[in-house]
Amino acid sequence: MRDVRTVSNLQLPMQSLSISDLHYKHRHLPIRQYSDATPELLIGLDNAHLGIPRRTAYDGSREHTVVLTKLGWVIYGTANTLTQARYHSLFARVSDETSDKLEDLVNDLITNENMGVSEVKQVAEPEYVARAKKLLNEHTKRDGRKFETCLLWRRDDVKLPESRKMAENRFLALGRNFRGDNHLKRVYTTIMVEYVERGYCRKLGKEEAETISERTWYLPHFGVYNPNKPGKLTFVFDAAAESQGVSLNSELLSGPDLSQPLATVLMKFIQKPIGVGYRRDVPSSEDKR
């Protein structure tokens, strides 16, 4: 064998083999039974020639297959009859160029069940993500049962162009649609009244309406029908609407992605004996909009 490495303890589970568990055709072979034996040798693919079958004893059943190799007779079969321990296969090769220890590889296999689960390493995040997190941490606060936060401006010196003319043109176009569709006008008006009653929006006072700053932006809105929900009008605030080549979206950060990939969530359930999952409460009919 080449490139052999030794360790003090492989920490592998014990295995047992009883001759009585083997099929009758295999009992005449020179196989010794063992009980609670601990594996002491791992053979990698760099010595795969030692496992090449020279003779096979197989009777067509789905129980066990016995193969003669250079190492002697090797038994293949289901784990529930050969041993009470769970079976895994490990092929590992440690070269002289790496500092990884073989015992670390085996420990990682046993701990994570060889399912690709590894420790999450800290990586450098983009500057815009760091800025978005900083703004959220500094300006997010709780207001009763709700949370309030700031707009995630791309820069501290953002200056928005005049946008009232653009919004007025969009509003006049919406009015023309109302004149040709009374149903749209009625549903649209109902939604607007609900928004005011629930405090989602309010009418500005004269002084507020006349106050203009470098970040004053008039946001147009429109309604769309979902083909999968006939008669259901969805209210859309168009942050992609442009004025002088600038939109509100173009000056805002999208914010950090705080969701976990589904594969990562599922993998975490095999790391501990008990997995706990969370779900968002289903909103009531009043809150679906």
In a domain, 119, yes or no: no
Q: Is 234 within a domain?
A: yes
Q: What is the spatial distance between Cα 249 and Cα 255, in angstroms, rounded to a whole number?
A: 12
183 lies in some domain? yes
Instruction: Answer yes or no: are the C-beta atoms of 232 and 226 closer than 8 Å.
Output: yes
Q: Of 42-56, 71-85, 138-152, where does the model show the most confidence?
A: 138-152
Residue 186 lies in a domain: yes
Mark whether 33 and 98 lie in a shared domain.
yes
- In this prediction, residue 276 carries a pLDDT of 59
Q: Closest Cα to residue 257, out of 147, 155, 132? A: 132
Q: State whether 186 and 86 are in the same domain.
A: no
Query: Given this model, what pLDDT does residue 87 score?
Result: 44
* H or E segment and range at residue 6: none
Tens digit of each residue's pLDDT (9 = 90 or more) over 17-68: 777 766 655 666 777 788 888 888 888 888 888 888 888 876 666 667 788 8
CA distance 184 to 175: 10
Question: How many structural domains does the chain have?
Answer: 2
Same domain, 133 and 108: no
Average pLDDT score over residue span 161-181: 93
pLDDT, greater one: 132 or 106: 132
- Residue 225: closest CA among 191, 179, 175: 191
Query: In the prediction, which pLDDT does 68 show?
Result: 86
Whether residues 89 and 169 fall in one domain: no
Residue 150 lies in a domain: yes
- What does the pLDDT look like over 233-259, one tens digit per residue? 888 999 999 999 999 999 999 888 877
Detail the DSSP E strand segments found in the chain.
15-17, 34-37, 55-57, 64-69, 72-77, 141-143, 146-148, 221-225, 233-237, 242-243, 246-247
43/92 Cα distance (integer angstroms): 8
| Residue 29 domain-assigned (yes or no) | yes
Give residue for tokens 């609407």.
241
**Furthest-apart CA pair in the chain: how many Å?**
101
CB 92 within 8 A of CB 98: no
Domain that holds residue 243: 127-251
Contacts 24+ apart (CB under 8 A), 20-25: 21/81, 21/82, 22/63, 22/64, 22/66, 22/75, 23/59, 23/61, 23/63, 23/64, 25/57, 25/59
Say if residue 157 is in the same domain as residue 183: yes
